[in-house]
Homo-oligomer: A and B are copies of this chain.
C-alpha cells in the first residue's frame, strides 16, 4: 500500500489538522493522536515525520504566517499609492481566509506558545515586523515622522481586533474590523494633511 513521496503530503495534512484541532479545542491541549486521527494516520506516523509535538505546532505557525504573507504580497502587487497600499494590508489581515474562528483561535494560542518557546516568539516577531514595515511604507508618505507611532498604534489595534474576535459569538465580521481600522487611520491622517 505504501506509495512513495508521501512525506510532503503527510506533513501538509498534519499541519492543516493541527490548526483545525487547536481552533476546535481552543487550546494547545490537543493530543498528537487527535491531530493524527484528523489527518488520517496513526500518531506514530505523525511522530515519524515531525519528531515532536512542538515541531508540529511550529510548522503550523509557519504555515499560517506563510499564508498571511502570501496574501499580503498578492494584494500589494496591484496597488497604486500609499492609501491603497494601506487598504490592501488591512483587507488581507481581515480577509475571510485569515479572519476565521479557527485561524484566530490558533493565532491566540500561538501567542501563548510564544511565551514559552523561543522559536514561536521569533516567528511572531517576524510577523509583527512585516506588518509594521508594510504599514510604514504606506504611512510615511502620508504622515511623515508620525508614521512610526501610527504604525505601532494601528498594529496594536489590528491585534486587538483579532483578540476580540475570539470572544464574540456569531460569524466573524471582517468588514466591521476593517471599518474600525480605517476609521482610526482616517482620523489620524486628517489632522496631518496639508
User: Which residue of chain B has its CB nearest to the CB of A25?
Assistant: B116
Asked whether any CB of chain B lies closer than 8 Å to the CB of A158, the reply is yes
1/0 contact trace for A98-119 toward B, CB 8 Å?
A: 0000000100110111111000
Instruction: Please report the C-alpha to C-alpha distance between residue A159 and residue B166 in the assembled complex, in whole angstroms.
Output: 12
* Contact status B111-A166, CB under 8 Å: yes
Among the interface residues A125, A128, A184, which one has the most CB atoms of the partner chain B within 10 A? A184
Residues of B within 8 A of A149 (CB): 180, 183
Stretch at the interface among A83-91, A133-141, A186-194: A186-194
Are A108 and B111 touching (Cβ within 8 A)?
yes
How many copies of this chain does the complex contain?
2
**Residue A82 at the B interface, CB < 8 A?**
no
Asked whether A156 and B164 contact (CB < 8 A) given A116-B27, A187-B187, A191-B187, the answer is yes
When distances are taken between beta carbons in the complex, the residues of chain B under 8 Å from A116 are: 25-27
Q: Which residues of A contact B (CB under 8 A)?
A: 25-29, 105, 108-109, 111-116, 121, 124-125, 128, 149, 152-153, 155-161, 163-164, 166-167, 180, 183-184, 187-188, 190-191
Known A108-B111, A111-B163, A156-B163; 15 more pairs at CB < 8 Å: A26-B116, A27-B116, A105-B115, A108-B112, A108-B115, A111-B166, A155-B164, A156-B160, A156-B164, A157-B160, A158-B160, A160-B161, A184-B188, A187-B188, A187-B190
